[in-house]
């Protein structure tokens, strides 16, 4: 038998043969009760295989039999295809390896196609395909007589996710670049493989679902984090469940005891009445739960319109009246009747239910203001009739994700929304006058417009999104999850990062080769950025949002490339959509919650070594209470880490209000700059690392002691005061300078003795602050009692008193 091997490595890394286990992968029943199909010459029999952990591929094998009456042999090709998008069948037909063989007519046996060293290796669980193509009519591939069973069972059912398929290929019978257009084989091909499994590494994350007491049955597709009772620990909403964080690594479902009697598709924490605690909004059921000292009062008439198939929510105080407003995105929900059968109808693809932009009326109610505020949002003939594709259907673009973010860098929040069904995405830019103008094209954020004659003018199938400063250059960047329809491969976009060029134009462009760095998935549903290893670089978790596809965790490398670590992390999230990071155990690293088809999964971060970190809880007095829209800059050495306080992201999940910053190897923080939503700024010096800081915007200064000295400075009352001095407590001392000056801040006891010098430096004009932990310059804790802090600016002094309690 002649053999020609054309081999391309699946991955650059090879797997060690230590602690190996060689097994056979096959789907057929190896018995003699087989039959053969009379395919046209050149057709390809395809089988999909899954490897459960790192493995090397030793061989491909196929049972061949001669056709009845055959008198001659045939040439055959055996192809190795990669995961090809991760679906049930190969959609690209791009071989990674090819064997060519001559099959004599007497061949009626298992033929093995062995790989020579170095053998191809899989560094993590994945799928691959074997395709067998006979160029004549004399030799056939055997098939058993057992009906295939879908390998991935879903609630909706997915009959395509079986293992054996067939693909017709026309002369010259070369499958390179062809699109799969065949069908499901009813039975199993006699096609197999031999792999050598390796010992898996220790996982970085531990699935703590049951240990944490959140072993919920399926009850939603999205996750929301928020500290509803202000005890310093992140609580969680999952469908109809409200999980209170008990502070010891466990949760208690308190929904029934606090008045949360059921959620909806999308549920989020938000301070609707601006009273300092988190309420809950549920869509599309139009329910508002008002938080009243830890219990909830249900309001079923908050002024919301009729929503259908809500896909996302996002909050922002767009008009700066201190009360947050709400954007509700609705997806496809229009149906068309079958003209041949009045009792039959089908979903109209591309035409969605209208979305809503609700203005907060400041009395606990909302009203839809999109008609007067969202310029460029309107209905159109976006849908195609399911029974007549030439007929258009009126509706709205199907929005699948939404984030408020400062797209243009002017300090206020703009609205970014992703659209499905090959339609451009939205950017509604805040004009600062109560009006938002649609400007996605001006910023390059519509998506990739196609120039292929078959798809000219079309865009992608954008799904979830998340907005962060992923490259630490001070402006917002966006990751967009994309879906690729197998029947429209040329029209779909690939998931990737859209990087911001920064001022003055804030142009966005998809980073070159991002899609190859992230790999290619047919379906990416939602995106969750988070620095899980605290190295100062955002990593990203991407869920599929579709049946039978797995989620992926990518670590960002210093060169802004990405390495998939799903397997090493120990995360298994098939059929997942909602995902959000949060440090639920307050140990300084980010944990992950994922909503999968079988319920909620909680992954605790148990990495042995991570970098330093800092976290902030902001509370505002002059703006909305949770400071949505505030910007935090953490300066540590040569790097500035930027965070924005947001509420609601992507495809309907919610990050916590707490802003977590990984610092890598930085041993200290030089400065923290906070820009509050109303534009006021605060500078904090000597901020302690590896600690969660509660920063409360100071109210206007009142006359007390001697807080004001001739207009050159203002000294504000420390907060909190009194403060409980402990290893985890501090009080913030703030002052404002009208011009650059030499500044000294000192603490004295009641006898006038110096306790500590906090600041002795030259500072610029603006608001400054220092977090004092109640210790002397020697690091000794002070006793309970009264103390005085004195601000000296260019020889002028101002002072206030503070109280320390044990």
Number of alpha helices (DSSP H) and beta strands (DSSP E) in the chain: 5, 63
32 versus 583: which is more confidently predicted? 583
Q: Of 99-103, 252-256, 316-320, 519-523, which gets the smallest average pLDDT?
A: 519-523
Domain annotation covers residue 584? yes
Looking up tokens 């603006």 gives: 766
Query: What are the angstrom distances between the C-alpha of 275 and each of 158, 278, 797?
Result: 48, 8, 36
**What mean pLDDT do residues 291-296 have?**
94
Domain annotation covers residue 556? yes
Domain annotation covers residue 661? no
User: 385 with 473, same domain?
Assistant: yes
Residue at which a domain ends, from 197, 221, 246: 197
- Evaluate the omega torsion of the peptide bond into residue 87 and state whether it is cis, within 30 degrees of 0: no
Domain annotation covers residue 643? no
Domain annotation covers residue 687? no
184 versus 695: which is more confidently predicted? 695
Q: Which long-range contacts (CB under 8 A, 24 or more apart) does 724-729 make?
A: 724/805, 724/806, 725/773, 725/774, 725/781, 725/782, 725/784, 725/804, 725/805, 725/806, 728/691, 729/773, 729/774
Q: pLDDT tens digits for 642-662? A: 999 999 999 999 999 999 999
User: 273 with 164, same domain?
Assistant: no
What confidence category does residue 501 fall into, taking pLDDT thresholds of 50, 70 and 90?
A: very high
Distance CA 256, CA 260 (A): 6
Distance CA 401, CA 634 (A): 28
Please give the structure tokens belonging to residue 72.
């001659």
User: 529 with 503, same domain?
Assistant: yes
User: 730 with 746, same domain?
Assistant: yes
Please give the structure tokens belonging to residue 473.
């250059």
Question: Mean pLDDT, the chain, as a whole number?
Answer: 88
User: 229 with 189, same domain?
Assistant: no
State which residues form the domain around 603.
205-335+344-619
User: 191 with 222, same domain?
Assistant: no
Using an 8 Å Cβ cutoff, are 226 and 657 in contact? yes
Distance CA 705, CA 798 (A): 8
User: 328 with 241, same domain?
Assistant: yes
User: 222 with 319, same domain?
Assistant: yes
User: 157 with 245, same domain?
Assistant: no
User: 161 with 226, same domain?
Assistant: no
CATH of the domain at 73: 2.60.120
**What mean pLDDT do residues 11-35 have?**
68
Q: Report the pLDDT value the prediction gives residue 14, as an integer from 0 to 100.
A: 31
Distance CA 583, CA 225 (A): 10
HSE at residue 671, side-chain half, CA atoms within 13 A, is: 13
User: 181 with 275, same domain?
Assistant: no
User: 269 with 158, same domain?
Assistant: no
CATH of the domain at 785: 2.60.40.4070
Distance CA 214, CA 217 (A): 9
Helix (H) or strand (E) holding 670: none
Residue at which a domain ends, from 197, 224, 245: 197
Domain annotation covers residue 690? no
User: How many domains does the chain divide into?
Assistant: 3
Domain annotation covers residue 428? yes
Residue at which a domain ends, from 197, 231, 254: 197
Q: Report the pLDDT value the prediction gives residue 10, as an integer from 0 to 100.
A: 31
**What mean pLDDT do residues 401-429 have?**
96
Domain annotation covers residue 469? yes
Q: Of 34-38, 127-131, 204-208, 406-410, which gets the smallest average pLDDT?
A: 34-38
């Amino acid at each position: 038998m002649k053999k020609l091997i054309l081999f391309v490595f699946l991955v650059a890394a090879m797997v060690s043969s230590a602690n190996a286990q060689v097994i056979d992968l096959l789907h057929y029943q190896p018995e003699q009760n087989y039959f053969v199909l009379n395919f046209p010459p050149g057709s390809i029999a395809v089988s999909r295989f899954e490897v459960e952990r790192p493995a090397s591929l030793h061989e491909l094998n196929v049972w061949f039999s001669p056709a009845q009456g055959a008198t001659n042999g045939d040439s055959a090709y055996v192809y190795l295809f990669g995961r090809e998008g991760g679906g049930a069948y190969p959609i690209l037909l791009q071989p990674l390896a090819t064997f060519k063989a001559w099959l004599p007519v007497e061949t009626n046996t298992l033929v093995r196609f062995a790989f020579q060293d170095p053998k191809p290796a899989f560094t993590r669980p994945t799928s691959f395909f074997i395709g067998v193509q006979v160029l004549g009519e004399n030799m056939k591939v055997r098939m058993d007589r057992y009906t295939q069973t879908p390998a991935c069972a879903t609630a909706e059912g997915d009959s395509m996710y079986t293992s054996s398929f067939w693909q017709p290929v026309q002369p010259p019978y070369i499958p390179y670049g062809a699109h799969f257009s065949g069908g499901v084989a009813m039975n199993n091909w006699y096609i197999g493989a031999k792999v050598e499994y390796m010992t898996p590494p220790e996982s970085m994350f531990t699935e703590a679902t049951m240990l944490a007491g959140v072993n919920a049955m399926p009850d939603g597709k999205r996750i929301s984090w928020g500290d509803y009772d202000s005890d310093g620990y992140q609580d969680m909403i999952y469908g109809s469940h409200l999980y209170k964080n008990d502070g010891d690594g466990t949760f208690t479902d308190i929904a029934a005891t606090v008045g949360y009697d059921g959620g909806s598709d999308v549920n989020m924490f938000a301070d609707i009445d601006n009273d300092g605690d988190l309420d809950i909004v549920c869509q599309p059921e139009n329910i508002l739960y008002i938080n009243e000292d830890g219990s909830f009062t249900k309001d079923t008439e908050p002024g919301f319109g009729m929503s259908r198939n809500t896909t996302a929510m996002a909050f922002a105080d767009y008009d700066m009246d201190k009360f947050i407003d709400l954007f509700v995105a609705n997806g496809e929900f229009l149906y068309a009747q079958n003209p041949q059968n009045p009792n039959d109808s089908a979903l109209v693809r591309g035409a969605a239910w209208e979305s809503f932009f609700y203005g907060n009326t400041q009395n606990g109610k909302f009203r839809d203001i999109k008609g007067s505020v969202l310029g460029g949002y309107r209905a159109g003939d976006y849908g195609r009739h399911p029974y007549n594709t030439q007929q258009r259907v009126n509706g709205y673009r199907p929005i699948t994700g939404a984030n408020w973010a400062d797209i243009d860098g002017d300090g206020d929040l703009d609205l970014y929304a992703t659209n499905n069904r090959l339609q451009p995405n939205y950017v509604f830019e805040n004009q600062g006058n109560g009006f938002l103008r649609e400007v996605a094209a001006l910023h390059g954020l519509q998506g990739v417009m196609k120039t292929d004659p078959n798809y000219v003018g079309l865009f992608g199938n954008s799904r979830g999104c998340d907005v962060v400063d992923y490259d630490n250059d001070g402006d917002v960047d966006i990751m967009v999850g994309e879906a690729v329809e197998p029947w429209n491969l040329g029209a779909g976009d690939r998931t990737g990062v859209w990087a911001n060029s920064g001022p003055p134009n804030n142009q966005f462009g998809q980073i070159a080769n991002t899609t190859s760095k992230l790999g290619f998935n047919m379906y990416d549903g939602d995106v969750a950025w988070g620095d899980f290893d605290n190295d100062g670089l955002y990593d990203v978790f991407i869920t599929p949002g579709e049946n039978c596809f797995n989620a992926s965790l990518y670590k960002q490398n210093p060169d802004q490339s990405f390495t998939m670590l799903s397997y090493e992390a120990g995360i298994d999230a098939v059929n997942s959509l909602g995902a959000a990071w949060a440090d639920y155990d307050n140990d300084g690293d980010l944990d992950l919650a994922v909503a999968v088809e079988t319920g909620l999964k909680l992954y605790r971060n148990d990495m042995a070594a991570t970098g330093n970190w800092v976290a902030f809880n902001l509370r505002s007095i002059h703006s909305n209470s949770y400071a949505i829209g505030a910007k935090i800059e953490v300066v540590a050495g040569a790097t500035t880490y930027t965070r924005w306080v947001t509420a609601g992201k992507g495809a309907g999940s919610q990050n916590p209000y707490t802003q977590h910053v990984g610092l890598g190897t930085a041993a200290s923080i030089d400065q923290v700059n906070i820009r509050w939503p109303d534009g006021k700024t605060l500078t904090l010096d000597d901020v302690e690392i590896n600690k969660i800081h509660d920063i409360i915007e100071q109210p206007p200064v009142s006359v007390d002691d001697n807080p004001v000295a001739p207009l050159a400075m203002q000294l504000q009352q420390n907060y909190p005061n009194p403060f409980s001095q402990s290893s985890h407590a501090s009080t913030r001392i703030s002052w404002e300078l009208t011009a650059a000056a030499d500044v000294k801040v000192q603490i004295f006891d009641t006898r006038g003795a110096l306790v500590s010098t906090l600041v002795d430096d030259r500072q610029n004009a603006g608001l400054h602050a220092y977090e004092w932990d109640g210790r002397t310059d020697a690091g000794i804790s002070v006793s309970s009692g009264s103390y005085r802090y004195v601000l000296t600016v260019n020889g002028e002094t101002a002072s206030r008193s503070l109280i320390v309690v044990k």
